[in-house]
Amino acid sequence: MAKIILTADRAVFTDYHGADLFGFGLCLPYRLVPELVQYHILSPKVPTRGLRAKYAPYAICKVEASLIAAGFSRDDVVIVPPRMVAKAIDGDTEIVAIHVLDPKGLAPVTWTLKALAGGGKSCTELEFEKLMNVVRSLKEKYGFKVIVGGPGNWQLRGYEYKYGIDVLFDGEAELTFPIIVKKLLNGEEVPRYVKGEPTPLDKIPLIITPSRNGLVQITRGCPRKCHFCNPTMWHFRSFPLDIITEEIEFNLKNGIENISLVTEDVLLYGAHGLKLNSDAVKKLFKVVVDLARRWGAPDKIGFSHVSCASALVLKDVVKYITDIQGLSDVEPTFPQVGLESGSPRIVAKYFRGKAYPWKPEDWPSIVVEAAKLFNDSYWYPCFTYIIGFPDATPDDYIATTELIDRLKSEGFVGWTFPLLLIPMGGTIIEEEKMNFPSSCIAKLSQEAIDCMIAGCKLSAVNSKTLARRVIRIKNPLLSRIFSNLASHAIDALESWISGVERDPNIVDKVYTKVDIRSTRELTKAVLPVIVKKL
Ligand code: SF4
């Protein structure tokens, strides 16, 4: 068997049924996610060839490629999904490396959903613990070393002993991770915390296992320097086009049907700092769309994030991206966009760079103008905004509520979701050790609660029109089941909103007791609704 096993828990190691957005469903407390929904809809099993996963999360593919580039053989390294871990580990295993996103349920979306729902362990946390129970007991038997890395590694500080973690790895893997692995294999001392060095672009190897949902990275880092952000601490780079196309072709050749670009802001591709590069972004989309068509793959190219200021600087590029892919009201795109706050004071203090080249006081208008541009181009964004900046005043929350009202009155199509601020490890605010308000909804100021409700209400209304466009599943029965589940989720959101509007203590008094995890509870609470609507 292999010397080095690479894996992740089931909330990370899945294809989310082709819809990465389903990953957010796993951020809910597991008592609110029926097992059937979690394991068959949100996080289905990844197929394998023998023990090896047929595809894997992109970051794990990169780690595997780095080990092979550093001299390990393919037989030395195997990527296995969590259900195969117990079979893959034996007396030959020397290293088990685990990629983590949200192992303790502290990522902003999870943190917020837990607070809104009245607490409880999230599916992400549950799955991490399940995996670590298996790894820990096998470690006692075989004595291998455990390395844990990935964006959620900060959540595990102080838990190393509990989970049997030998090395907590932060930062970029390509250069440093293979060195750490070699040291461990040679029996050398390795510090408990390792920070991976930034990797020059020419030292980042191409993936050799296809990536889940066709994800391929186009930029790394972000130059806007928002104080609550982790990726901004990484040096900003854009990957050369030939590297991107090689990875896409590799995926397509190996049975992956989609193309999705990983970036903190798709319009930053090819930028020099914050000097945007219109030609580079246009060329990227032209080349990738042509490639997709040549391979007979869908020519709607997914991308995760974009920013309002970039869009207003590169208005022509937003239109170009829409035209070249043929986006329409029936086939729109759904990027995630940070709105963060409607208060220029908060912008100036915590995320001045996000408004660049404009000033903090221009921010509300930047958001409204960008929203119009997005919607005119069939981009229906999910705007997220932050509740809980350490010194946020009632006036700051009122400014954000007013901005949401402006979006509504302009006919904005998309979502506006509040996120409770949590000082993620490695961010500027975490380093400053500031005081944060309570994550208990009832303890927030009335203005903060009103601000949360304003965004949730607009999201609920727009979800009704957008649900059908988000759920694009060919199988008619599955499509109807998913649509009915979505409609049930929107009803639940509306009932949460009206409950909290009446009395914020309802979260602790009532919502905290809801449990639809078991098949019995599911049958009682959800199935009649689904069946009725079929
Ligand atoms: S714009 Fe987004 S990715 Fe860039 S620093 Fe700000 S929050 Fe981070």
Ligand 1 pocket, residues with Cβ under 6 angstroms = 222, 224-226, 229, 231-232, 264, 307, 338, 351, 354
**Same domain for 189 and 220:** no
Q: Which residue, 63, 93, 91, 65, is CA-closest to 3?
A: 93
Predicted pLDDT of residue 423: 86
Given the CA of residue 224, which atom of ligand 1 is nearest to it?
5
**C-alpha–C-alpha distance, residues 368 and 269, integer Å:** 23
Amino acid at 524: K
**C-alpha–C-alpha distance, residues 177 and 169, integer Å:** 8
Residue 480 included in any domain: no
CB 153 within 8 A of CB 102: no
Of all residues in the chain, what percent carry a pLDDT higher than 90?
79
Return the number of other C-beta atoms located less than 10 Å from residue 108's C-beta: 17
List, as one string, the DSSP characters of 44-61: PPPPEETTEESSB-HHHH
| DSSP label at residue 206 | P
Query: pLDDT: is 382 or 477 the higher one?
Result: 382
Amino acid at 24: F
Predicted pLDDT of residue 194: 98
Instruction: Take atom 8 of ligand 1 and give the residue whose Cα is closest.
Output: 229
Residue 481 included in any domain: no
**C-alpha–C-alpha distance, residues 98 and 181, integer Å:** 13
**Same domain for 277 and 175:** no
**C-alpha–C-alpha distance, residues 323 and 77, integer Å:** 43
**Same domain for 380 and 260:** yes
Instruction: Take atom 3 of ligand 1 and give the residue whose Cα is closest.
Output: 264
Compute, in angstroms, the gap from residue 349 CA to the centroid of ligand 1. 14
Compute, in angstroms, the gap from residue 224 CA to the centroid of ligand 1. 6
Compute, in angstroms, the gap from residue 222 CA to the centroid of ligand 1. 6
Compute, in angstroms, the gap from residue 372 CA to the centroid of ligand 1. 21
Compute, in angstroms, the gap from residue 422 CA to the centroid of ligand 1. 15
**Same domain for 370 and 297:** yes
Given the CA of residue 354, which atom of ligand 1 is nearest to it?
1
Residue 502 included in any domain: yes
Q: Which of 166, 201, 236 is the last residue before a domain boundary?
A: 201
CB 194 within 8 A of CB 179: no
CATH of the domain at 257: 3.80.30.20
Q: Which of 218, 232, 237, 424 to mutate to test the pocket of ligand 1 (most atoms within 8 A of CB)?
A: 232
**Same domain for 34 and 156:** yes
307-322 pLDDT, tens digit per residue, is 999 999 999 999 999 9
Predicted pLDDT of residue 534: 47
- Residues forming a β-bridge with 149: 99, 169
Given the CA of residue 351, which atom of ligand 1 is nearest to it?
6
Question: What confidence category does residue 474 fall into, taking pLDDT thresholds of 50, 70 and 90?
Answer: low
List the domain range (segments joined by +) for residue 519.
Answer: 492-533
Query: pLDDT: is 337 or 465 the higher one?
Result: 337
Residue 483 included in any domain: no
152-209 pLDDT, tens digit per residue, is 999 999 999 999 999 999 999 999 999 999 999 999 999 999 999 999 999 999 999 9
Predicted pLDDT of residue 421: 92
Predicted pLDDT of residue 239: 97
Strand stretches in 260-327, DSSP E: 260-262, 302-303
227-259 pLDDT, tens digit per residue, is 999 888 889 999 999 999 999 999 999 999 999
Given the CA of residue 222, which atom of ligand 1 is nearest to it?
4
**C-alpha–C-alpha distance, residues 124 and 105, integer Å:** 6
CATH of the domain at 106: 3.40.50.280
- Count of the separate structural domains present in the chain: 3
Give SS3 for 194: strand
Compute, in angstroms, the gap from residue 480 CA to the centroid of ligand 1. 36
Compute, in angstroms, the gap from residue 304 CA to the centroid of ligand 1. 13
Residue 482 included in any domain: no
55-100 pLDDT, tens digit per residue, is 999 999 999 999 999 999 999 999 999 999 999 999 999 999 999 9
Compute, in angstroms, the gap from residue 486 CA to the centroid of ligand 1. 29
Compute, in angstroms, the gap from residue 226 CA to the centroid of ligand 1. 5
Span 510-521, average pLDDT: 82
Q: Which residue, 389, 380, 306, is CA-closest to 351?
A: 389
CB 344 within 8 A of CB 363: yes
**Same domain for 223 and 76:** no
Given the CA of residue 229, which atom of ligand 1 is nearest to it?
8
Instruction: Take atom 2 of ligand 1 and give the residue whose Cα is closest.
Output: 264
**Same domain for 225 and 151:** no
Dihedral angle over CA of 498, 501, 505, 509, nearest 10: -10
24-64 pLDDT, tens digit per residue, is 999 999 999 999 889 988 999 999 999 999 999 999 999 99
**Same domain for 230 and 195:** no
Q: Which of 217, 219, 220, 224 to mutate to test the pocket of ligand 1 (most atoms within 8 A of CB)?
A: 224
Given the CA of residue 232, which atom of ligand 1 is nearest to it?
5
Compute, in angstroms, the gap from residue 415 CA to the centroid of ligand 1. 19
Predicted pLDDT of residue 332: 95
Q: Which of 173, 201, 229 is the last residue before a domain boundary?
A: 201
Number of residues written out for the chain:
534
For the record, the structure tokens of 500 come out as 């909290």
Instruction: Take atom 6 of ligand 1 and give the residue whose Cα is closest.
Output: 226
Predicted pLDDT of residue 524: 61
Query: pLDDT: is 526 or 141 the higher one?
Result: 141
Residue 505 included in any domain: yes
Compute, in angstroms, the gap from residue 359 CA to the centroid of ligand 1. 16
Given the CA of residue 225, which atom of ligand 1 is nearest to it?
5
Q: Using CB atoms within 10 A of its CB, is residue 158 exposed (0-12), middle (13-18) or buried (19+)?
A: exposed
**Same domain for 9 and 33:** yes
Of all residues in the chain, what percent carry a pLDDT higher than 70?
95
Predicted pLDDT of residue 522: 61
Given the CA of residue 307, which atom of ligand 1 is nearest to it?
1
**C-alpha–C-alpha distance, residues 202 and 180, integer Å:** 21
Amino acid at 393: T
Given the CA of residue 230, which atom of ligand 1 is nearest to it?
8
Q: How does the average pLDDT of the chain come out, rounded?
A: 93
431-456 pLDDT, tens digit per residue, is 776 666 667 888 899 999 999 999 99
Compute, in angstroms, the gap from residue 10 CA to the centroid of ligand 1. 28
Please say if the pLDDT value at position 424 is more than 80.
yes
**Same domain for 150 and 243:** no
**C-alpha–C-alpha distance, residues 481 and 530, integer Å:** 7
CB 32 within 8 A of CB 139: no
* Cis check: omega of the bond before 29, within 30 degrees of 0: no
**Same domain for 97 and 242:** no
Compute, in angstroms, the gap from residue 234 CA to the centroid of ligand 1. 11
Predicted pLDDT of residue 18: 86
- The angle formed by the CA atoms of residues 412, 417 and 420, to the nearest 5 degrees, is 150
CB 177 within 8 A of CB 63: yes
Predicted pLDDT of residue 180: 98
**C-alpha–C-alpha distance, residues 417 and 462, integer Å:** 12
Q: Which of 354, 422, 430 to mutate to test the pocket of ligand 1 (most atoms within 8 A of CB)?
A: 354
**Same domain for 463 and 364:** yes
Given the CA of residue 264, which atom of ligand 1 is nearest to it?
3
